[in-house]
Amino acid sequence: MALKHKLILASGSPRRVELLHQSGIEPARLMPMDIDETPKKSEHPRSLARRLSAEKGDAAFAAIKSDAAWQGSYILSADTVVAVGRRILPKAEFVDEAAAALHLLSGRGHVVYTGICLITPDRKARQKVVETKVRFKRLSGRDIEMYLASGQWRGKAGAYGIQGLAGSFVQKLVGSYTNVVGLPLYETMLLLAGEGFDVHAGWQEG
């Protein structure tokens, strides 16, 4: 792969890696960035997704800017936020957090925002925030109990992953499905292609 086409993904999310693979792109390096994801006071969910994606990209750039082997790379970062109105649901780490989130989402609509940030080889930053509206069916006590037992809520924004068991909870979705998984593919490919990254380089058969 030519140096100018190296892509660094500033994330350790298996789901984002899988989505890029689905699009024929193999990140040259994964760089999960450990930043403070605490929302600021009265921060809108959309603004939070935008800010955190930018901060992750900036952190990755700072980490590689003095490394000649990675100069000329593209850096892609993303952050997904789930919200009911302006209420931001944290990434669930404990079972009580997950249970509270699922009870809140039961039978109602919520919005998933993903901020994507691309830092180009000439150090330009390009950003986009994509939103998808999702409505869950009314969850029974058994639904919640068994989903919690599955463990698929751990580390997920809103305490669920649509690509897993919780996909059966979705009554209606308006917008990008891949956005809810964690990386809106249409917008990501558009951003990459618009900045000169060859999104088709990995499409050749064999």
Q: Is 36 designated active site?
A: no
* Rounded distance between C-alpha atoms, residue 83 and residue 112, angstroms: 6
Choice among 36, 58, 67, 79 that is catalytic: 79
* Rounded distance between C-alpha atoms, residue 12 and residue 31, angstroms: 7
Closest by Cα among 114, 91, 90 to 176: 114
DSSP H or E stretch at residue 8 = strand 7-9
Closest by Cα among 3, 115, 123 to 60: 123
Cα→Cα distances 135→15, 168, 172, 175, Å: 21, 11, 5, 12
- What are the backbone angles phi and psi of residue 91, rounded to the nearest 5°? -70, 120
Catalytic machinery residues: 79
